[in-house]
Amino acid sequence: MTLPHKVLALHETMTMEVAYDGRPANLFTLINASGMTATFMDIGATWLSCTVPVSGDIAEKREVREVILGCATLADHQAQSAYLGATVGRYANRIANGQFTIEGKTTQVTTNQAGNTLHGGPDGFDKRRWSVISHSDSKLELSIVSEDGDQGFPGRLEAKVTFELTADNTVAISYQANCDQPCPVNLTNHAYFNLAGEASIEDCLQHELMIKADYFVPTSEVGIPTGELKSVEQTGFDFRESKTIGQDLLSDPEQLLAKGYDHAFILSSELANGIQDFAKAVSPDKKVTMTVQTTKPAVQLYTGNFLSGIKGTSGVYGIHQGFCLETEYLPDAPNHPEWPGESILRPNQTYAHYTGYRFTF
């Protein structure tokens, strides 16, 4: 299959400059029989592009629609601070004060947001070159080694991420990791979706969204959990029935603090099996639907509250240009062992989790 023009162009423009290590990025595009593509970069194990063919106004004409946000050049990618499409770690989301205690020992890790640690610290996995294990037309395997003390985290961590584009139009992401000391580990992908199209004048607020979650996590103005797990009942966080993302935007005190949705939703254990859909998003024109499956106990809904001014592939993004569904352990979970999931990886364990984003078009 011939790759769409916009994907071929990305392979050219994204490799014109060198990365921090003096070498250009390497790009890999997965394809399937439906004509869908998913493109990844070894810098940050980043999901750069996802195109789906949708019906145009003329029955015979197909539109190649880019459904995630991204940059056209490495310089633009390195300049943005929104983690566009990156694999983030060691610990996705936030750790309060960059501190946690395991077996009576308190560890201080590097902080990078309001005195807290966000997405692994200032030099997280999103900024590293991952090593290529294998790649084919349908699958890509990347790995990274994080030495003991990296960003202050204990233990030597070896991690692997596998991206696969399946015949049923799922971008399947599998994570695996081992560490020789007890350490918080929480890997996720930070893709921003706009099912109307990356270049669309539509922001994400008119997307229909459903999330099967009865509870969410209230946070402070800098995203640190208050300690409460709150019912979504009679709040703007109730997505159990499909509604537009914008319907109840900024209708809660918790949203006002975050300037929109930037909160974790807790999934029931029966939904965290990697098979059942826990979320469903539909484009405003109803031409693209995305369902999500995961083995993680929670998902962070983020509505791009600070995207304004970021230079993307098609132009400068505005606020709410895209939304994220980041599957994860709960923010600051290392300091809340009573919460769902086991966020501490121990030497005798293997971290193994899965998230699938399935597209219908």
Catalytic residue among 11, 77, 119, 190: 190
Assess whether 254 carries a catalytic annotation: no
For tokens 């004048």, name the residue: 201
Using CA atoms, how far residue 281 sits from 205, 206, 208, 270, in Å, is 11, 10, 5, 20
- What pairing do the DSSP bridges indicate for beta strands 324-328 and 298-302? antiparallel
Q: Which two tokens stand for residue 113?
A: 């947001």
Q: Which two tokens stand for residue 215?
A: 């509870």
Catalytic residue among 164, 198, 326, 328: 326
Closest by alpha carbon to 308, among 300, 299, 320?
320
Closest by alpha carbon to 301, among 264, 259, 252, 251?
264
Using CA atoms, how far residue 209 sits from 18, 193, 206, 239, 338, in Å, is 39, 12, 9, 7, 29
Q: What are phi and psi of 299, to 5 degrees?
A: -140, 135
Q: Which two tokens stand for residue 46?
A: 């980043």
Residue 186 near residue 91, CB atoms below 8 Å: yes
Assess whether 202 carries a catalytic annotation: no
User: Hey, which residues are catalytic here?
Assistant: 190, 326
